[in-house]
Amino acid sequence: MGTDEVCWLSAIELLDSYRKKELSPVEVAKTVFERLDEVNPKINAVITLTYDLAMEQAKKAEEDWRSGTPGTLCGVPVTIKDLIVTKGIRTTCGSKLFEDYVPDEDAVLVERLRNAGAVFLGKTNVPEFGLVAVTDNLLFGPSRNPWDLIKTTGGSSGGAAAAVASGIGPVAVGNDGGGSIRIPSSLCGVFGLKPHFGRIPSYPHVVHGWETMNHEGPITRTVSDAALMLDVMAGRDDRDRLSLPESGVNYLDSLEKPLGKLKIAFTTDLAVQAVDREVAQITADAARVFEEFGCEVVEDDPGIFDMSQDLTVMVLVDTLAAHEHHIEKAKELMYPLYRPFLDIALIYTGVDRIRVEFRRKDLWKILRRFFEKYDLLLTPSTACPAFDFKEGGMLGPDTIDGKEVNPASWVGFTFPFNFTGQPAASVPCGFTESGLPVGLQIVGRRFDEVTVLQAAFAFEKARPWAHVRPEL
């Protein structure tokens, strides 16, 4: 097998090759680092490399395979988002405020990855504190989209998605407070899963905020790899008091079960101001693929109201509260685009913040009734494909389909389901005429990652994508 092909193997394929003694974890780790050295300078996806640790973990993985005691991810290379705490590995959150911060404990999910035998390649780039959906910061600069280097990766798991799309490891860990797994997965042409809120414990955090919005989850090139990652990372841990009890489900095994004749809704509305015409057409065509499986696909919209202002209130108020103990230093060192946030947040009151929670309940009332009729909801993952990155920072495009839009409109398909906590995934479903990936969002009922994964798996088999690679 050529060294280049090794970098494009899935985690499950790697594990099978180790089992058959066709490849070794050390050999694979070295090969992936060679790939990283080649492409990372172009895309700026991995910002802290852990070569020595990876070699140590890879050697241990080889010993475990030889002794017949491999973990679930034994020898699989993985990257970890720089918002996620890693013991002994610098965790900056993309901020000069934490430029030299080295945690003395692991996040729960990182602990589980270590115990499963994963090999840590390094930490991936983020917008500072993950506050926006465009990956850039003052410490490391922007990540670049592997399909077009002048375009953004999206965010906030932009480095993670770009790494996976470029052959720097088959899997990555991200998190998602308003679309931060699904958005960059869509823009970079990979699979991203936001499990149900609390399915993967979220503890600890470098700074407070987003406590009831943040979801941890995998970014992968295949659906099976995401299911495998979820099997490792999911499950209750009392360090996160909001974590869910054990589901009793093996997510990887569940993929082989029949999809069933589901009733599925598709919309390109969802209170979004405008949608790129190519994105709308590509995702509509993708939705009709589910009819090939015997599902009923209906164009229907739940009729939710726009919660972009609610998201803004949460982001600004939480950011101010998280940094009030060093507010002057934050104003001096934070990303220039963010600095006004700290003053703008002062205009909001406690009543404004509580009103968000009231509207959140109203949103769920609408969606609960909608999901009584449908098993799944399909939408575009983002309202537009990747757009040109602008030096100095940006929140999003000024226009979509020739219409002026607010900065949050382009991600309006994702954040409603952070408010409700439902599982949702972005599946690669096609390319624009200019060669940019488009993602289809699959949203499930509460606690039902299984149906989301099964639907994504069926779509992947019917319209495979993992063989399509950017020309870096």
- Residue 60 and residue 74: Cα distance in Å, rounded? 9
- Residue 324 and residue 315: Cα distance in Å, rounded? 14
- Residue 346 and residue 354: Cα distance in Å, rounded? 15
In 68-207, which ranges are continuous DSSP H helix? 108-115, 158-165, 182-188
In one-letter notation, the amino acid at residue 274 is: A
Residue written as token pair 């602008």: 390
| Residue 411 contacts residue 155 (beta carbons within 8 Å) | no
- Residue 194 and residue 197: Cα distance in Å, rounded? 8
Please say if 81 is a catalytic residue.
Answer: yes
- Using the CB atoms, write b or e for 322-331: b if 16+ within 10 Å: bbeeeeeebe
DSSP conformation letters of 306-327: P-HHHHHHHHHHHHHHHHGGGH
Q: H/E element holding 428?
A: strand 424-431
Please say if 186 is a catalytic residue.
Answer: no
299 to 281, 306, 377, 378, 420: CA distances (angstroms): 13, 20, 10, 9, 22
In one-letter notation, the amino acid at residue 447 is: F
- Residue 238 and residue 107: Cα distance in Å, rounded? 13
200 to 193, 238, 442: CA distances (angstroms): 12, 12, 19
| Residue 309 contacts residue 348 (beta carbons within 8 Å) | no
- Sign of the CA dihedral with 244 first, then 249, 255, and 258 last: negative
Given 180, 202, 224, 243, the catalytic residue? 180
Structure tokens at 259: 């999809």
Given 10, 17, 81, 185, the catalytic residue? 81
324 to 91, 206, 254, 330, 341: CA distances (angstroms): 21, 15, 46, 9, 12
Please say if 202 is a catalytic residue.
Answer: no
- Residue 41 and residue 163: Cα distance in Å, rounded? 11
| Three-state DSSP class for residue 120 | strand
Given 24, 156, 166, 308, the catalytic residue? 156
| Three-state DSSP class for residue 119 | strand
- Residue 232 and residue 171: Cα distance in Å, rounded? 13
Q: Which residues participate in catalysis according to the annotation?
A: 81, 156, 180
